[in-house]
Structure 1
Amino acid sequence: MKPYAEVIGDPIAQSKSPRIHRFWLDQIGMDADYRSFHVKPSDLAAYFDDRRDDPAWRGCNITVPHKLAALDHVADPGDVRGSIGAINTVFRGEDLRWIGTNTDAAGFHAPIAGLDLTRQPVCVIGAGGAARAILFALSKLGVGRVTILNRNPLKAAALLATFGLKGDALPLTAPVPPARLLVNASTLGMTGQPPLTIDLAPLPEDAVVYDAVYAPIETPLLAQAHDRGLDTVDGLEMLVGQAALAFELFFGVEAPRTRDDELRELLLA
């Protein structure tokens, strides 16, 4: 049986990960596969139990709502639980253990690596698994005050404390602060999810709006930012960045990034 990896979540139909990984596998001529698999929260333990006995399984990417719960089913030698607190990738380590890690933080940072956020105010929407990775990355960049908008402000306040960030935890209905960077780390605005209702008027002219949602690519949030002439980063950039790191963990070779423009066209088709 050919080696394979997959992405799991609930829902999962929106995932573009199979297209990304299959594109790269085709480019390098590797006889392997990458697929999606629908896993409900009640079936997560059974999923890992089934896959452990499959020698062809190279691991999986993890999307909502399993990024926290999956930690209970894999080894954590890098103490991701104690740092980010959520995983998005499981792979086989050298000692044959299944290891959990998180490639979201690096995937998030790559598109804004040239943006100086030192002591700059940031606003993050959401407090789930993706937000944990994003806040972890922000904590390493020396940002200024961080405002988290979330349905449950208490949960958001706990995350600020976890990552040693100064700022405010406010409900989703609160106005956006004049942030240099605004990041939607929630599923709001995703196809099949509730819309993200937000007014970007308070943002300064040099603000960057970053939406981690990639289905659709042009979310209402990004459309509003474009109407204001603000710089934007869409969810595809973060998705491809984190996928490249996972691809190497699964298949033992670097993802061929020289044809990213062609890959993007494929994902947008």
Structure 2
Amino acid sequence: MFKISEFSELTNISPRMLRHYDKLNLLKPTNVQKENGYRYYTPEQINQANQILSLKNAGFPLKEIQSFLNDEFDLHDYLAKQRNSLERDIADKKLQLTYLALLENKCAADTVEIINYPIESKIMDDTFVLSYRQKVASYYHEEQLWQTLFAKIRPQDQTTLGQAIAIFHNSSPNVIDIEVMIGIPKKLKSIYPEAKVFSPGLIASVVISGSYETIPKIHTDMGEWLQLNSYTLSGKLFNIYHSSPATEEHEELFITEICYPIKKQND
């Protein structure tokens, strides 16, 4: 049998880690002397140590290595899952490196806005809405559309309203096509037969606070994000107003979620 120092040298596992493996019941010494606490290992345990190191080098957590050694799952299936997990990690790291390169380029160019906005993808649930759509000459006229929409809603229903959403359809230098929508409970469908379901599905979004002057920068960042993540737009840009001029007097209290319907480029 081998002392812990000898076994450590043979297996390239430090004595500290061997003691840790003992606590995890992963690789226990064959004999521990009561009088001095010395640990002893057998030659057969070298192969067990090699198995542990092999799985650890492949990225297996120690607790899962213990399950494998106890024959609690099929190794072939788990190896495939581990490969998929590592490949996703590698793809994520490559994407992080690409973002880092973008920031480095902006820094080298002495760009004022160096940091990109944190864009996230998610599935947006279907929303039952009332809407009003009109072509206007300026984005400043959006408020008039909201006034028209709210004029259609009964006073007793005002407290039940959901999210305020504005979709920006095709526009030209002189004409902007805007559709404003407000979420309402489905139980009011009979009261508002013109209501419809808004189903954006998969979207990329970023939440900003304050004035709307940063939106052009967000569009630029979104273009980079779409390209890096192999997405393309699948619908019209829309805003979700979590707080807006309709509810807040000061623009620093505005909270706006800029949303882009998306799909994978090859879908």
- TM-score, with normalisation over the residues of structure 2? 0.22
More strand by share: 2
- TM-score, with normalisation over the residues of structure 1? 0.22
